[in-house]
Amino acid sequence: MNITHAYAAHDAKSALVPFDYTPRALRDHDVQIEVLFCGVCHSDLHQARNEWNNSIFPVVPGHEIVGRVTAVGSHVSRHQVGDLVGVGCMVDSCRTCPSCDEGLEQYCESGFTGTYNGQDRQTGAITYGGYSTAMVVDQDFVLRVPANLDPAGVAPLLCAGITTYSPLRQWGAGPGKKVGIVGLGGLGHMGVKLARAMGAHVVLFTTSASKVEDAKRLGAHEVVISRNPEEMAQHVNSFDFILNTVAAQHDLNPFLNLLRRDGTLTLVGAPEHDHPSPQVFNLIMKRRRLAGSLIGGIAETQEMLDFCGQHGITSDIELIPMQQINEAYERMLKSDVKYRFVVDINSLRA
């Protein structure tokens, strides 16, 4: 395969810079993809700066990928040249453990292979992600993109979309349910759109009054300023489910208080430092649950994409050239984007 142009971080302190590499040769079950768009996830920044202490440099980030199939291996049956496809956070798993058998590859008991900063199970080579002009991925981890959706807006669905869809489905968001979404960022804005499309009564929690109108535009029925005790008190013991998308460390007790008996608060934001431990009586007295959720399996991710196709849902994005990625990282840290940066990979081909 020809050389792929990419952007990589060479150490935790340096900016991302141009980087060329040659993807692996096509195996029998592989799909070769011309990358068109790649979303910018906060975990990209964590990995580029080794904030989780597991980065293997050079790191080519990117796991919200939409592209077009340009070649297929001899045994590929699921995709053909010309198909518009997506790749999310995983490119392989053990495929034999109980979690993989249940289609929950994200919980693979030997660990899934990350789209980047992972290790190829056959060769041990480090995987490179979607900040690149081309990729080679096993067909079982390549998804079909609905033709009616804007492909740039689809890209963030491969992480932000499935990260919010999976817990909403798992805990039964739908008609007759009152669902809270905490935070209106890249994850939260998708949570609002998806919960509304599922038929739930959606309440957005934010610390910023400036986000009230946008939250309603995105589909929230109500917006609560979470720093306002009076507004919070109006919703005590009333929520079936609350999805907390905030990655910054904060007190969970005010949100646990809002759950009805048997309600669940699920965390999908990954803080650098753990949240303070919740009050146990908050859980005991109403049989409330505090849970976590990690992306989704391949089948559920395809279900999410199909659901978004049926309901016309994409992410609200700001499209940037690859050359602006370092500036985008700094803006992302300031929450200066509505609501997800997406890289136009054609800028690498110029």
CATH of the domain at 32: 3.90.180.10
The enclosing H or E element of 335 equals none
d(CA 202, CA 219): 8
Examine the pLDDT at 68 and tell me if it is beyond 90: yes
Which residue, chain included where needed, has tokens 């990358």? 35
Residues 223-271: pLDDT tens digits? 999 999 999 999 999 999 999 999 999 999 999 999 999 999 999 998 8
Query: Confidence band (pLDDT; 50, 70, 90) for 338?
Result: very high
Residues 220 and 132 in one domain: no
Per-residue b/e over 15-37, b at no fewer than 16 CB within 10 Å? ebeebeeebeebeebbbbbbbbb
Query: Confidence band (pLDDT; 50, 70, 90) for 1?
Result: low
Residues 267 and 174 in one domain: yes
Residues 46 and 146 in one domain: yes
Tokens of 284: 């005991």
Residues 341 and 315 in one domain: yes
CA dihedral 203, 261, 293, 64 (to 10 degrees): -20
Residues 84 and 172 in one domain: no
Residues 245 and 341 in one domain: no
Q: Give 3-state DSSP helix, strand, coil % of the chain, rounded to 5.
A: 30, 25, 45
What pLDDT shows up at residue 272?
79
Q: Is the distance from CB of 190 to CB of 159 less than 8 angstroms?
A: no
Residues 308 and 174 in one domain: no
Residues 188 and 259 in one domain: yes
Per the DSSP assignment, residues forming a β-bridge with 18 are 7
Query: Confidence band (pLDDT; 50, 70, 90) for 273?
Result: confident
Q: Which amino acid is at 325?
A: I
Angle at 31 between CA 25 and CA 35, to 5 degrees: 95
How confident is the model over 198-212, as a mean pLDDT?
A: 96
Residues in the chain, how many?
Answer: 350
What pLDDT shows up at residue 122?
93
Residues 147 and 196 in one domain: no
d(CA 16, CA 8): 5
Residues 255 and 182 in one domain: yes
Residues 188 and 53 in one domain: no
Domain boundary among the residues 271, 292, 313 is at 292
Domain boundary among the residues 275, 292, 309 is at 292
DSSP structure class, residue 77: -
* Residue of 13, 67, 8 whose CA lies nearest to 342: 67
Q: Is the distance from CB of 337 to CB of 315 less than 8 angstroms?
A: no
Domain boundary among the residues 269, 292, 315 is at 292
Range of the domain at 234: 160-292
How far, rounded to the nearest angstrom, does the alpha carbon of residue 244 sit from its chain's CA centroid? 14
Dihedral sign computed on CA atoms, order 325, 326, 328, 329: positive
Burial class (CB within 10 angstroms; exposed 0-12, middle 13-18, buried 19+) of 273? exposed
DSSP structure class, residue 132: B
What pLDDT shows up at residue 195?
98
The 3-class SS string of 219-276 reads CCCEEEECCCHHHHHCCCCCEEEEEECCCCCCCCHHHHCCEEEEEEEEECCCCCCCCC
How confident is the model over 117-134, as a mean pLDDT?
A: 96
Residues 146-191: pLDDT tens digits? 999 999 999 999 999 999 999 999 999 999 999 999 999 999 999 9
Burial class (CB within 10 angstroms; exposed 0-12, middle 13-18, buried 19+) of 73? middle
How many secondary structure helices (H) and strands (E) does the chain include? 11, 17
First-last CA distance in the chain: 19
* Residue of 91, 37, 38, 34 whose CA lies nearest to 68: 34
What is the number of alpha carbons within 13 Å of residue 314 lying toward its C-beta? 19
Residues 37 and 155 in one domain: yes
CATH number at residue 286: 3.40.50.720
Where residue 161 falls (left for φ over 0; alpha for ψ -120 to 50; beta otherwise) is alpha
* Residue of 183, 91, 103 whose CA lies nearest to 129: 91
Structural domains counted in the chain: 2
What pLDDT shows up at residue 350?
72
